[in-house]
Amino acid sequence: MPDLLTNLNELSGGLFIIAAFGIVAARQMRGCMIFFIFQSFFLAASAFIMGIITSSDHLMIVGGINILTKVIFLPWLLSRLVPRKIATKREIVQVINIPTSLIIALLLTITAYFLTVPWLKAAPGADALHINVPIGLAGLLLGAYTLSVRREAVPQLLGLLSMENGAFFAGVAIAPNLPLMLELALAFDILIITFIAGILTRTVHERIGTTAVGTLSTLREEPRK
Amino acid sequence: MGKYLLFNILQVLTVLVFSPLVIGVLNRLKEIVQSKHGPGILQPYRDLWKLFSKDEVVSEESTWIFRATPYVAFVTPLFVTLLIPVLTSYPLFWAFMADMVGAGFVLALGGFFAALAAVDAANPYGPMGASRTRMVGFLGEPIFIIVFFTVSFVADSTIPYIVQQKWVTPLSNFFEPAHILLLISFIMLILAEKGRIPVDNPSGHFELAMIEESKDLEYSGKGAALMKWGGWMKFFVLMNIFLNVLVTPWGLASTVQLSAVLLAVPLVLFKILLFIIFLVLIESSLAKLRLFRISEYMSTAFIIAVIAMLTSVFTG
């Protein structure tokens, strides 16, 4: 039985990181969102499994809050706030093409592993650390990578939130008895971030007819030469 | 010893006899989903019969490669059958002749000859299809390699009979991340390798869009029959590698009795039926990708295979 639980935890880790790759590479905003929901779901699954292994009620509640906020409430909020026209648009703009992007993301994942090896050696302990910490760090890096290659507001927001997911994925293994207050505060934070970003996206879309925030970088004070 | 030899011959006969049936059922299921009144499940056998009783036309300009290819394409899946578990979960007479990498090599040999023959006949569409098949092939190669790496890393072996036991002893190994992710990656690979829907449309007959089919446009009569039958057997063998080696050895005979081995035939066919239903669901719900999107599809499969390897490295 403990073997099965460890395996299931590792499996949700693997699927978690694949969902992160999906957020990097999905072509449509809707696809990005679906991958984000999957990622949050696997995060919650890992929290539940860790909760059973370490018999910690806190982790169960963390998983529950995750399901409520990120799997149910957040997608609903985004789909209400973001105009339908953006959500179903195809071929969102990306700086690097998708296969190259995937390969770079893969290198980031391998880097995450090598970064955590010395750390894991210094802290021998639960099996779960060996999967949750490198994958959590990889999730963090992939989220940051999504932020930097996507040129649209909503996928960037999802990249930011998937960074948070990555941090949490490592967190559930490192600190099984995370103060509940922290998790609650974070959950509300995420909703507020989504709310603000959603309203901002909507306004930007209404004003200038696009949400390709990448073009904002050409805005400068001095006239371009 | 004699019994093992008999079982081996039974395995080869199973592949030989039932591979057209599998294709027939697959096509029939697809027709049901698309609400068509198509031919019955025995149509592939009738096609073979018709082609075998027709005359063959061979271009005067073609070389021996064109004439030899149908035999190579027909024989290579049968060779692989000797290496993999089709009916039994214990190694048979030839099992240790080559490992999974060897089996992959023998299968690739058939594809190599088919591509050469397509160029040899100098039909304008042949070389185009051949070069596209090679493109899909070389994108698939790294996935094959990584899958075998991971399998040999996790199971400490590349002999199919040893690998298949690893996933169910103990049963919790079934849920190992490497296992599940390898399965996803290998399904994507089979779809690409056999030209099924997200990569190529097997029922499409528009020459400019063909990938897999246009290689044997130039064949007629017995040559066409052997090429088709060989292709179906390759599909059957790939499904067997997937279902019996990579998924689980469930349904295979585990005792050295003729009755057990004969019972394994319907069980294996049932497993294949389940897989085919899954395949029909995929094929009916997805559209064919544009040619330049195939690299994205293949890189996704590659990423999943590498993640499978990484998670098994993470967990030691």
Tens digit of each residue's pLDDT (9 = 90 or more) over A76-103? 888 888 777 766 665 566 778 888 899 9
Tell me the pLDDT of chain B averaged across its residues.
Answer: 88
pLDDT (tens digit, 9 = 90+) per residue, A120-177? 877 766 667 788 889 999 999 999 999 888 877 788 888 999 999 999 898 888 877 7
How high is the pLDDT of residue B185?
94
- Nearest CA of chain B to the CA of A117: how many Å? 9
Going by pLDDT thresholds of 50, 70 and 90, the confidence category of residue B96 is confident
pLDDT of residue A129: 77
pLDDT at residue B234, rounded to an integer? 93
Does pLDDT of B80 surpass 80?
Answer: yes
- Judged against a pLDDT cut of 70, whether residue A40 lies above it is answered with yes
User: Which residue from B5, B66, B23, B36 is spatially nearest to B238, judged by alpha carbons?
Assistant: B23
CA B78 vs. chain centroid, Å, equals 12
Whole-angstrom distance, CA of residue B211 vs CA of residue B196: 10
Please tell me which of A200-204, B128-132, B235-239 the model is most confident about, judged by mean pLDDT.
Answer: B235-239
- Using CA atoms, how far apart are residues B235 and B212, in angstroms rounded to an integer? 13
The nearest alpha carbon in chain B to A2 belongs to B172
Q: Which residue has the higher pLDDT, A55 or B16?
A: B16
Q: Do B314 and A103 touch (CB under 8 A)?
A: no
Distance from CA of B188 to the nearest CA of A (A): 15
Give the per-residue pLDDT at A89. Answer: 66
pLDDT of residue A78: 84
- A211 vs A24, which has greater pLDDT? A24
Rounded mean pLDDT of chain A?
A: 84
Domain total of chain B: 1
Q: What is the mean pLDDT of residues B143-170?
A: 86
pLDDT digits (tens, 9 = 90+) for B133-143: 888 988 999 99
So what's the pLDDT on residue A224?
Answer: 57
Q: Give mean pLDDT, residues B143-166.
A: 87
Neighbouring-strand partners of residue B88: B253
Secondary structure, 3-state, chain B = CHHHHHHHHHHHHHHHHHHHHHHHHHHHHHHHHCCCCCCCCCHHHHHHHHHHCCCCCCCCCCCHHHHHHHHHHHHHHHHHHHHCCCCECCCCCCCCCCCHHHHHHHHHHHHHHHHHHHHHCCCCHHHHHHHHHHHHHHHHHHHHHHHHHHHHHHHCCCCHHHHHHHCCCCHHHHHCHHHHHHHHHHHHHHHHHCCCCCCCCCCCCCHHHCCCHHHHCCCCHHHHHHHHHHHHHHHHHHHHHHHHHHHCCCCCECCCCHHHHHHHHHHHHHHHHHHHHHHHHHHHHCCCCCHHHHHHHHHHHHHHHHHHHHHHHHCC
The most distant pair of C-alpha atoms in chain B lies apart, rounded to whole Å, by 60
Residue A194 pLDDT greater than 80, yes or no:
yes
Average pLDDT estimate for B109-138? 87
- Contact call for residues B299 and A99 (beta carbons, < 8 A): yes
| B51 has pLDDT over 80 | yes
- Taking contacts as CB-CB distances below 8 angstroms, the residues of chain A near B306 are 106
Using CA atoms, how far residue B302 sits from B108, B143, B309, in Å, is 19, 5, 11
Check residue B77 and give its pLDDT.
Answer: 94
pLDDT above 70 for B218: yes
- Who's near B2: CB < 8 A, 6+ residues apart? none
Q: What number of other Cβ atoms are within 10 A of residue A57's Cβ?
A: 10
> Which pLDDT does position B224 carry in this prediction?
93
Q: Please enumerate in sequence order all residues whose Cβ is within 8 A of that of B196, keeping only pairs 6 or more positions apart, or say none.
A: B190, B202, B279, B282, B283
Is residue B313's pLDDT more than 60? Answer: yes
Residue A215 has pLDDT above 80, yes or no: no
- pLDDT on residue A184: 81
Number of cross-chain residue pairs from A and B with Cβ atoms under 8 Å apart: 74
Tell me which residue range forms the domain holding B123: 2-314
Q: Is A222 helix (H, G, I), strand (E, B) or coil?
A: coil
Q: Mean pLDDT, to the nearest integer, of B153-175?
A: 85
Residue A102 Cα, gap to closest chain B Cα (Å): 7
DSSP readout, A97-124? -HHHHHHHHHHHHHHHHHHHHHHHHHS-
Sequence ranges of the domains in chain A: 2-218
Q: Give the residue-averaged pLDDT of B211-223.
A: 83
The pair of structure tokens assigned to A11 is 């499996």
Instruction: Calculate mean pLDDT across residues B96-113.
Output: 87
A134 contacts in B (CB within 8 Å)?
Answer: 314
Q: Kindly determine whether residue A10 and residue B315, on different chains, have CB atoms separated by under 8 Å.
A: yes
Residue B10 CA to residue B197 CA, distance in Å, equals 32
- Determine the pLDDT at residue B143: 93
Q: Which of B40-44, B71-75, B124-128 has the lowest mean pLDDT?
A: B124-128
Confidence check: pLDDT of A225 > 60? no
**B299 contacts in A (CB within 8 Å)?**
98-99, 102-103
pLDDT at position B92 is 82
Verify cis geometry, omega within 30 degrees of 0, for the bond prior to B170: yes
> Taking chain B, what is the end-to-end CA distance rounded to the nearest angstrom?
39
What is d(CA A7, CA A45) in angstroms, rounded to the nearest whole number? Answer: 12
* The pLDDT value given to residue B233: 95
pLDDT at B250 (0 to 100): 84
Q: How far apart are CA B305 and CA B145, in angstroms?
A: 9
Percent of chain B with pLDDT over 90: 43
d(C-alpha B6, C-alpha A66), whole Å: 58
CB proximity list for B237: less than 8 A, separation 6 or greater: B15, B77, B80, B81, B84, B107
Interface residues of A toward B, Cβ cutoff 8 Å, are 3-4, 7-8, 10-11, 13-15, 17-18, 21, 25, 98-99, 102-103, 105-106, 109-110, 113, 127, 130-131, 134-135
pLDDT confidence of A1, banded at 50, 70, 90? low
Mean pLDDT over A207-212 rounds to 72
Most B CBs within 10 A among A1, A6, A10, A115, hence the mutation to make, goes to A10
Lowest-confidence pick of A12-26, A117-131, B29-43: A117-131
Minimum distance, in Å, between the CA of residue A202 and any CA atom of chain B: 31
State how far the Cα of B75 lies from the Cα of B77, in Å rounded to an integer.
6
pLDDT digits (tens, 9 = 90+) for B199-213: 888 777 777 777 777
Distances (CA, A) of A135 to A71, A98, B216, B217, B266: 20, 21, 46, 48, 42
Q: What's the CA gap between A63 and B264, in Å, rounded?
A: 44
pLDDT band per the 50, 70, 90 thresholds, residue A20: very high
Residue A18 pLDDT level (bands cut at 50, 70, 90): very high
Would you give the DSSP letter of residue A211? -
Chain A residues within an 8 Å CB radius of B178: 14
